Amino acid sequence: MATKKNLVANRAALTHKVRYAIGHPHRIAPYVKRAARDRWLAFKHPDHVGYYRAVMASDTRRNPEAAVGSQTHDRWLALGKMQFDYLREHGLTPQSRMLDIGCGNLRAGWHFIDHLEPGHYYGIDISPDILIAAKQTLTTQGLQEKVPHLTITQDLTLDFLPDAYFDVVHAHSVFSHSPIEIIDECLAHVGRVLAPGGFFDFTFDRTTGTEHQVLREDFYYRTETLIALAATYGLKARFMDDWETRRHGQSKIRVTAS
């Protein structure tokens, strides 16, 4: 199912919330329930990583596939294949070494693992719960012999990874859930781990209006904000127009060393 982008809405504004509630009354109760849960989790975990780790634990207990943004198994399969097909078209080869930031339960990761040579896939995530689900996906798909690396992380300094190692770094639906400080941290360090000629693709929730967030879960940024932020670390970033043809709800930027 294609997702139409609304690039001008400020979802944090009261007027938008009222209009949305009037048009979608069946979503009011679930929103209130989620808002109450998120407020409690934010109280218990004031730092964003701790907070979002708790969100993922809660969501994963209900449904690991929904926790990574897929409401049905068919959608989980389709979104994973969409990511894989795009990177394969952009030069992902079996010999590529890939870092998958926010690998989740391997929605796309199992495709990458299957495509890559053994040991060439590194998946990291802040959530131990979703990584347990990732191991189940790996087992279900029979990919044990590909010996992927699945590692929990607390931050995006990438300090445990080698210099100039990864041909492809990928972060799907990570920055859409991240405050600007976490994006800044990643961009400050990702250039170190990129191999010569490598690239870093990330998706984000795009707005052409006011940058905003909803429930500390969904963050909306202007393209120019993220491109300028990458430039402060000597990185060249460009908006990927061909990703827009996939009609995914998020947009994509590619970062390379200048």
Say yes or no to pLDDT of 80 above 80: yes
Give 214-240 pLDDT, tens digit per residue. 888 899 999 999 999 999 999 999 999
Q: Which domains does the chain have, with CATH numbers?
A: 14-257 (3.40.50.150)
pLDDT digits (tens, 9 = 90+) for 36-78: 888 888 888 888 888 888 888 898 988 888 878 788 898 889 9
Q: Which of 58-62, 87-91, 131-135, 172-176 has the lowest mean pLDDT?
A: 58-62
Q: How far apart (Å, rounded) are the C-alpha atoms in residues 184 and 256?
A: 15
Distance between first and last Cα of the chain:
37
pTM (2 decimals)? Answer: 0.90
The yes-or-no verdict on residue 186 having pLDDT over 80 is yes
Lowest mean pLDDT of 54-63, 64-73, 138-147, 194-203, name the range. 64-73
Going by pLDDT thresholds of 50, 70 and 90, the confidence category of residue 11 is: confident
More confident residue, 62 or 108: 108
Reply yes or no on whether the pLDDT at 2 is more than 50: no
Q: Are 176 and 184 in contact (CB under 8 A)?
A: no
Task: Classify residue 127 by burial, with Cβ atoms within 10 Å: 0-12, 13-18, 19+.
Answer: buried
